[in-house]
């Protein structure tokens, strides 16, 4: 703009000085042309400068927008950063609390683990003791099993022996019954009870009332019985005398029913031993008096049943007792 004003001023000066020389005019014209060129160049530069200014304005506006965006992004980032810091602080706080809780839990678990280890150690010791005890019990059990097996074997043998003895006693019962068959209606009875043979003879077959002398009929019956017993040496013989409860009038060495029962048992024993094949050690005489009645002494008939002599025959048990040792 300034250059244009200068140019116009020069032109006016030339016009006003119309009387200048041609040389001077040429110089002025040259100067004018030069100024015109400069003005043109200045316009071009101005236009270019304006264009550059517009580009710079556009770039400035773009940069300003970018700056605004960056500031907004920075603000958002700062806000997010603050949020993350807060979250990080809270997370750190939670982590610290969890670590504390974990430490307390580990401490508790450690204490529990120690207790469990102590209990485990105690249990192992008890288990070891139990194993030792079990071994001892197994040894005892084996010993008991061996004893049981032996006892079972012994029991089997005993049962076999008892069966043999039972068979022997049944055979003996049969033989005695056959041998004394003629005395069955004279007050003689043969029965088997508890594995023993009982030969029961009423007083009328053997003795007179109050007497301990065996009658001839009684001696005959005892002789038949002795023959059977002599053929069975493994049989033990017990002779028992029994009376009723009527008091005995004492005479000589017999003072009461007990004495009478003993004397009668002894008299029977001596007659049996007349058979030399019967060893004396097999026979045991015994007086029971009035104290083992068959029935109550309530009548003459009942008292007659109670006045009896019993010869109890039993198998020898020495062999069986040895098996039980």
- Return the SS3 of 109: helix
Report yes or no: 311 and 268 within 8 Å, Cβ to Cβ.
yes
* Burial category of 304 from C-beta neighbours within 10 Å (exposed 0-12, middle 13-18, buried 19 and up): middle
- 226 falls within a domain: yes
CATH number at residue 207: 3.30.1330.60
- Confirm whether 107 is domain-assigned: no
Distant-in-sequence, close-in-space partners of 272: CB < 8 Å, separation ≥ 6: 222, 225, 226, 229, 237, 239, 278, 283, 311
Q: Report if pTM > 0.85.
A: no
Q: Is 19 helix (H, G, I), strand (E, B) or coil?
A: coil
Is there a domain that residue 123 lies in? no
Burial class (CB in 10 A: 0-12, 13-18, 19+), 28: middle
pLDDT in tens, 5-28: 545 555 555 455 554 567 777 877
Q: What mean pLDDT comes out for the span 182-189?
A: 93
* Number of domains into which the chain is organized: 1
- Report the alpha-carbon angle 91-95-98, nearest 5: 135
Domain assignment present for 137: no
Specify if 224 maps to a domain.
yes
| Closest listed residue to residue 227, CA positions, set 173, 186, 166, 176 | 176
Range of the domain at 304: 159-324
What pLDDT sits at residue 3?
A: 54
Is 184 part of a structural domain of the chain?
yes
Using CB atoms within 10 A of its CB, is residue 244 exposed (0-12), middle (13-18) or buried (19+)? buried
Q: Which two tokens stand for residue 152?
A: 């079972």
- pLDDT tens figures, 258-290: 999 999 999 999 999 999 999 999 999 999 999
Query: Is residue 250 included in any domain, yes or no?
Result: yes
In the predicted model, what is the mean pLDDT of residues 36-48?
81
**Stretch among 102-106, 158-162, 259-263, 304-308 having the lowest mean pLDDT:** 102-106
pLDDT above 80 for 320: no
């Amino acid at each position: 703009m300034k250059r244009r004003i200068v140019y116009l001023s020069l032109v006016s000066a030339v016009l006003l000085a119309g009387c200048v020389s041609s040389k001077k005019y040429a110089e002025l014209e040259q100067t004018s042309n030069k100024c015109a060129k400069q003005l043109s160049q200045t316009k071009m530069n101005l236009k270019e400068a304006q264009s550059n200014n517009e580009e710079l304005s556009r770039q400035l506006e773009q940069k300003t927008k970018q700056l605004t965006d960056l500031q907004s992004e920075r603000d958002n980032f700062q806000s997010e950063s603050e949020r993350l810091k807060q979250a990080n602080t809270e997370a750190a706080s939670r982590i610290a609390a969890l670590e504390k809780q974990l430490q307390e839990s580990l401490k508790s678990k450690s204490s529990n683990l120690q207790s469990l280890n102590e209990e485990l150690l105690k249990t192992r010791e008890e288990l070891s003791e139990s194993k030792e005890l079990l071994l001892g019990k197994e040894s005892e059990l084996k010993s008991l099993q061996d004893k049981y097996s032996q006892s079972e074997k012994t029991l089997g043998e005993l049962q076999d022996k008892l069966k043999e003895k039972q068979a022997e006693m049944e055979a003996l019962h049969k033989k005695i019954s056959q041998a004394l068959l003629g005395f069955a209606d004279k007050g003689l009875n043969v029965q088997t009870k508890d594995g023993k043979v009982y030969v029961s003879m009423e007083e009328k077959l053997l003795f007179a009332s109050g007497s301990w002398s065996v009658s001839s009929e009684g001696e005959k019956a005892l002789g038949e019985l002795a023959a059977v017993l002599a053929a069975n040496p493994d049989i033990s013989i017990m002779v028992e005398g029994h009376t009723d409860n009527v008091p005995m009038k004492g005479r000589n060495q017999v003072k009461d029913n007990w004495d009478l029962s003993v004397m009668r048992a002894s008299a029977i024993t001596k007659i049996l031993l007349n058979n030399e094949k019967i060893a004396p050690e097999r026979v045991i005489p015994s007086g029971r008096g009035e104290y083992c009645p068959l029935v109550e002494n309530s009548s003459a008939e009942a008292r007659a049943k109670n006045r009896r002599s019993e010869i109890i025959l039993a198998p020898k048990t020495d062999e069986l007792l040895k098996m039980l040792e």
